[in-house]
Structure 1
Amino acid sequence: MAYTATPPLHQQAFSLDHAAWIERLATTENLLIVQDLDGVCMGLVRDPLDRVIDLGYVEATQHFDGHFYVLTNGEHSGRRGINGILERSLGGEAQAQAGRYYLPGLAAGGVQWQSRAGQISHPGVSEAELAFLAAVPQKMSDRLRQFFQRQAEPLAGGALESAIQAAVLDNMASPTANLNTFHSLLCDRPGVYAALQQAMQTLMEDLLQQAARQGLKDCFFAHYAPNHGRGPDGKEILWLSQGDESGTTDFQFMLRGAIKEAGVLALLNRYYAERTGRSPLGADFSVRQAPHSHEALLELVVQNFDPALMPTLVGVGDTVTSVVVMADGQPVARRGGSDRNFLHLIQAIGQHFDTGNLVTYVDSSGGELKNRRAVKLEDRDGITVVTAGPGDPRDGDDPLRLNVVFPGGYRQYCQAFQTAAARRKQGPIKGQTI
């Protein structure tokens, strides 16, 4: 039998070769990790206030200092931000600042920047926009109360108010209605839950109209997570609940341009600036200046970034969906998930620059939320292989290739990440140095 060489990791799909993944992170000097948070390094929970993060993982990120950024639709600051989780784990803000434990990178889809020291700014965002956003959480609370007042069997007063407290995320730059708690409370009334999803979608549309009347037209958009991709009008498609699946749970009112794929460009711009003293897209570049299409974003990278200095990018996410539906008698794949587009862009950059970029998928289906399709595993002659990914198995031409999969969820990923960090700390590092 002829020997068949194993292809490089970036050419594989659904690989479980975590040792090779660790090796790449530990030994590649010109490296940039771009990582989501919820479901990746923390478990998915119904109430974001219940989130916890392992300090061993946080300390491991410090060994990648300058080579690691987060990219999340959540936020750094606020009651439900990642900073609060860190500070509670460490015993206070002073300890977090002294140890430089804050996770650097972009939040709120890319409009909230944070340094390792915990300094926060909102590049490209006006005071008028922030003022409008500040009033959104109260409007979300009011709309939830109005919805349940109209139900034949409304939730009891105490239960409703507790659920609203858990659901309304008063984020500074991305106020959110998170319906996970309501999905649990309405498990025996799926029709009511689906109607609630539609009511929240209507609220998003109402907010956009209110913003336009205040001179803020085209400043915001509605983000649904998870979703079924974008329609012909560019708007995200709501995933209505069916059966046990919760469908869309997060209704985020976000600033226009706050899309993760644009965040990849902003992070690359900072990475080059820190190493060369020059920002390829300008020192004041923000996601709000970036184009929105995959093709235009890739072209901006190709035109402005020196190929000789391009790092190997490792994208890490957990929210990638696809579903095949019938349209005009033909099967059509609807592809979505809040991590899909930024992972796809990282893949495309790697293909163009031949830098071996890795798309890493963390299976978060084992959390409290029932809106993820689990990766399927099978034992073949004593070897465990992935037989189905998170997408619809009928979607055979999905352009996104998930190179490495962590079916064990965030715990398995964090353990591998910490191993890579420990090895990187010891050295030696190979590859091109800028």
Structure 2
Amino acid sequence: MSYVAPPLLHQQLFSLDHAAWVDLLATTENLLIIQDLDGVCMGLVKDPLDRVVEIGYLEATQRFDSHFYVLTNGEHTGKRGMNGIIERSLGGAELAQLGRYYLPGLAAGGVQWQTRAGDISHPGVSEVELAFLAAVPAKMGDRLRHFFKQHPSALPAPDLEQAIQASVLDNMASPTANLNTFHGLLSDQPEVYVALQQAMQELMEDLLRDAASQGLNGSFFVHYAPNHGRGPDGTEILWFGQGGESGTTDFQFMLRGAIKEAGVLALLNRYYAARTGSYPLGEDFSVRQAPHSHSELLDLVNQNFDPALMPTLVGVGDTVTSVVVTEDGQPVAKRGGSDRNFLHLIQAIGQQFGTGNLVTYVDSSGGELKNRKALRMEDRRGTSVVVEGPGDARDGDDPLVLNVVFPGGYRQYCQAFQTAAARRPLTIKQSETMTLANHSES
């Protein structure tokens, strides 16, 4: 019998071959990792202020140097931003700054750029837009208090104010109402929780109208996370909680153009510039200039990026959903999740350029939030295999293929990531940075 080699990682579905994944990250010189944060490198928690990140993971990102960027709908800055998590995990801002532990990449869906040193900018964003966003958190708090005045018996007053403080995320570029805490408090009152989701949706619509009346029509959009994809008009479909699931918990008021898939192009643009000194899309390119459709984004890559320099892209995320519903007597798949579109674009770029791009999925269903579907495992001939992903098993033609999966969640992913980093050769620049960090700890 002749030996048949297993398919390459980018040709596989639900692969558990973490050793091959580690080997690819450790040995591929022209590599670009684009990674989400929540649920990927740290656990999902109800209160974002409780998030922590492991120092070993932060050190591992340094070994990848300019081959690693984050892409998140969260933010680098602010009370609940990633920088604060890093500083608390390290024991203070001084060590984070001295050791250059900040994570480079795009936040707020792509409009907040940060360097490894922690320098922040908002490409393509006006001061007027930032001023409007600054007033949004207070309006979120006011709307939550108004809602519970209409439902006075739902929660005791002390729990209510504490929950509001935990739920209003005063992000600079993407203020958010996060209902995770309320979902837990209202677990025995599902009808009140769904009414609260509806109230937050109404607030988002009111904010859009207020912006238009102030001459900022088209400046903003609303991101629901997780969601059930987009409707015919391009707006995201709210996922109402039911059966114990929280559905949509994050109501994010975001800048137009701040979509993760556009962020992939902005990061590729910077990656090429770091290697060649030239920006394929121009030095001032931002996500706000990018088209929104999958096909147009892919066309822009094809038209502007030199195929000979295209890296192998590894996209990493944890939020991918699909559900099959019946419409007009026919099954229809509603596909969503805040990581879906950027992972799909990375997959498509790999297919177009023949670079073997990998879609990596981290199962975050083991966290505190009940809005993630666990990977389903079976034992076959003594070997564990994944037989069902995070989407609907009836959705048989989902174009997104999850090549490598980590059923053990962020801890399993971080361990594999750190193993790959330890095997990856250091550059002189990286060696100097890590020596400085080690010296500061002594």
Normalising by structure 1, report the TM-score.
0.97
Q: Which runs of 5+ in 2 are unaligned?
A: 428-442
- The letter of the residue matching 1:148 is F
Matched, 1:314 2:311: no
- The letter of the residue matching 1:350 is G
Give the secondary structure class of the aligned counterpart of 1:236.
coil
Q: How many residue pairs were aligned?
A: 427
1:291-310 alignment runs, 5 A limit: 291-310=291-310
- The letter of the residue matching 2:73 is N
Give the whole-Å Cα distance in 1 for the aligned partners of 2:373 and 2:202: 27
The equivalent residue for 1:373 is: 373
Deviations 1:225-269 (A, max 9, x none): 000000001000000001110000000000000000000000000
Give the secondary structure class of the aligned counterpart of 1:65.
helix
What value does the CA root-mean-square deviation take over the aligned residues? 0.9
1:225-264 alignment runs, 5 A limit: 225-264=225-264
Give the whole-Å Cα distance in 1 for the aligned partners of 2:89 and 2:200: 33
- The letter of the residue matching 2:424 is R
Query: Structure 1 residue 91: deviation in Å?
Result: 2.1
Give the whole-Å Cα distance in 1 for the aligned partners of 2:418 and 2:30: 19
1:381-400 alignment runs, 5 A limit: 381-400=381-400
The equivalent residue for 2:410 is: 410
Matched, 1:74 2:108: no
The equivalent residue for 2:115 is: 115
Give the whole-Å Cα distance in 1 for the aligned partners of 2:90 and 2:319: 29
Give the whole-Å Cα distance in 2 for the aligned partners of 1:25 and 1:92: 31
Structure 1, 155-164 or 328-337: larger mean CA deviation: 155-164
Q: Which runs of 5+ in 1 are unaligned?
A: 428-434
Give the whole-Å Cα distance in 1 for the aligned partners of 2:59 and 2:114: 17
The equivalent residue for 2:165 is: 165
Q: Does structure 1 retain, via aligned residues, the 8 Å contact 2:63–2:426? A: no
Give the secondary structure class of the aligned counterpart of 1:97.
helix
Q: Does structure 1 retain, via aligned residues, the 8 Å contact 2:154–2:186? A: no
Deviations 1:376-418 (A, max 9, x none): 0111001111000000000000000000000000000000000
Give the whole-Å Cα distance in 2 for the aligned partners of 1:100 and 1:331: 51
Matched, 1:125 2:120: no
- The letter of the residue matching 2:410 is Y
Give the whole-Å Cα distance in 2 for the aligned partners of 1:370 and 1:85: 23
- The letter of the residue matching 2:209 is Q
- The letter of the residue matching 2:202 is T
Give the whole-Å Cα distance in 2 for the aligned partners of 1:130 and 1:343: 28
Give the whole-Å Cα distance in 2 for the aligned partners of 1:183 and 1:426: 45
The equivalent residue for 1:57 is: 57
Query: Structure 1 residue 154: deviation in Å?
Result: 3.5
The equivalent residue for 1:431 is: none
Deviations 1:202-221 (A, max 9, x none): 00000000000000000000
Deviations 1:184-216 (A, max 9, x none): 000000000001001100000000000000000
Query: Structure 1 residue 2: deviation in Å?
Result: 5.1
Deviations 1:107-135 (A, max 9, x none): 00000000000000000000000000000
- The letter of the residue matching 1:62 is Q
The equivalent residue for 2:24 is: 24
Give the whole-Å Cα distance in 2 for the aligned partners of 1:28 and 1:394: 36
- The letter of the residue matching 1:270 is R
Overall identity of the aligned pairs, in %? 80
